[in-house]
Structure 1
Amino acid sequence: MDVHCLFDGWQDCGDLDIISMTSKMKEKYNKYLGEGNKINMLVYLAVIFDPRCKMSFLDFGVNLLFPNVANDIMKMIDKELHCLFNEYSSNAGRIELFEGRSSSSTNRCSSMEIDQSKMKTGLAKQKYLKKKKQVGLESKSELDRYLGEDEEVNNSSSFDLLLWWKMNSPRFPILAQMARDILAIPISTVASESAFSTGGRVLDSFRSSLTPLMVEALVCTQDWLQKSNDVINLEDYVDELQTMEDDVSRLSTTIEAKEES
């Protein structure tokens, strides 16, 4: 969405060079993200599991990016979300089945003692209110309660999404498990593709004899140098560079002498 908004701003900036560049960038953008019904569903679900966004922000974004098919996309997302929740709920139900059996006998005994202490004329009303409360809780699932709550008002860059789910896992145990699994998935393959591209530049047709250990050392060293915040002072390395140049010069002289002989 942010990229889409940037494109709109650049196309209306009035600079012909920027407009031309934006058109080419938008072609590449549409190649991967131009069709909303073909985007990985987990990208949408990750937005829903951000308590600052949820379904309302996702609906706004889908209508902004894909206004012609927004309704179909939102229906598809809602269906897949509930199917995934039901799958997690069924797995959690199997785990909690034994725990529920162990506590049911205790609850039954306590309810019988309470009923016996009251007049029989009020037992039917007690059962009715208890049943009504139970049905009300069951009719509103954990997912519905989460989506029904207001969004978190916290746009700080220090907001820890995983910490929020950890703190709210007692209220949403099933959703917390879903959030932990979904938010752990890398959002793109750029990092791995970049690593392969870097390796291809190091080990090319002119450097085909490098060992795997040397290739790893070169790639890691380049990565460390690029991410280093320390300023490199070239004056500290003048002597070392001069020594290297002298060695290369002597080596070249030796090779030329051997070729002449």
Structure 2
Amino acid sequence: MATIVEPRYKLKIIQFFFIDIHGEEKAEEFIRELRKDTDSLYSHYNNNGHPTSASGSRSFSHLTSSTSTYDYTASAVAISSPLVQRYHQRRASRNIMQCRSEVECYLMEDVEAPSDAFQLLTWWKVHSTKFPILFRIA
């Protein structure tokens, strides 16, 4: 979740790396499950911490068990690494489509450009009115 609410990476970089490491098919399945979990967490925060269905109280443990063979921490991927640079080049060529929810709008927007001057908490403060529930999650 920390990577998803990081405006320089979001879900897109997780997908990018997962495809690169495990292939397209496994990546699609993982991203689908991760997106369900993201939507579930969003729903939980949207309802002031009270899930509206059984899916709102899902366990997220399956995410760590399926990815235990690779370290996805920020220290594993430097901002200036060739893989991250390739990711940003590919992202720069895509368009944003219409979205139906706050999560979808956030995830559809392009990621922030890598910069040593980037301040994550300042970014979320500035965008808190645009993404109020994700702001609370972040």
Smaller-chain TM-score bracket: 0.5 to 0.7
Alpha-carbon distance in structure 2 between the residues aligned to 1:72 and 1:150: 22
The residue aligned with 2:39 is 82
Q: 2:137 & 2:4 partners in 1: Cα distance?
A: 11
Structure 2 spans left out of the alignment, 5+ residues:
51-98
Q: 1:56 to 1:76 in 2, by over 3 A?
A: same
Question: Does the aligned pair in 2 maintain the 1:92–1:174 contact within 8 Å?
Answer: no
Partner of 1:63: 19
Question: Which has the higher relative contact order, 1 or 2, with Cα contacts under 8 A spaced 6 or more apart?
Answer: 2
Unaligned runs of 5+ in 1: 1-44, 94-138, 180-261
Tell me the distance in 2 between the aligned counterparts of 1:88 and 1:169: 14
CA contact (8 A) 1:52 1:152 kept: yes
TM-score by length of 2: 0.58
Distance 1:146 1:92 in 2: 20
Amino acid in structure 1 at the alignment position of 2:121: L
Aligned residues, how many?
89
What are the Cα deviations for residues 181-203 of structure 1, in whole angstroms up to 9, with x where unaligned? xxxxxxxxxxxxxxxxxxxxxxx
Amino acid at match of 2:122: L
Cα distance in 1 for residues equivalent to 2:27 and 2:103: 22
Structure 2 counterpart SS, 1:70: helix
Aligned to 2:135: 176
| 8 Å contact kept, 1:47–1:53 | yes
Task: Report if aligned partners of 1:50, 1:161 keep a CA contact under 8 Å in 2.
Answer: yes
1:51 and 2:7 aligned: yes
1:92 Cα deviation (Å)?
Answer: 7.3
* Residues 169 and 176 in structure 1, CA contact (< 8 A), matched pair in contact too: yes
Aligned to 1:142: 102
Partner SS, residue 47 of structure 2: helix
Bigger share in helix: 1
CA deviations over 1:65-101 (Å, ceiling 9, x no partner): 22262222111101100000011111179xxxxxxxx
Q: Could you tell me the percent identity over the aligned residues?
A: 35
Rg larger in 1 or in 2? 1
Q: What is the TM-score normalised by the length of structure 1?
A: 0.32
Q: Does 1:151 align with 2:108?
A: no
Return the alpha-carbon distance in structure 2 between the equivalents of residues 56 and 163 of structure 1. Answer: 22
Q: Could you list the structure 1 runs, at least 4 aligned residues long, displaced by more than 3 angstroms after superposition.
A: none
The Cα shift of 1:59 comes to: 0.6
What is the alpha-carbon distance in structure 1 between the residues aligned to residue 28 and residue 126 of structure 2?
Answer: 33
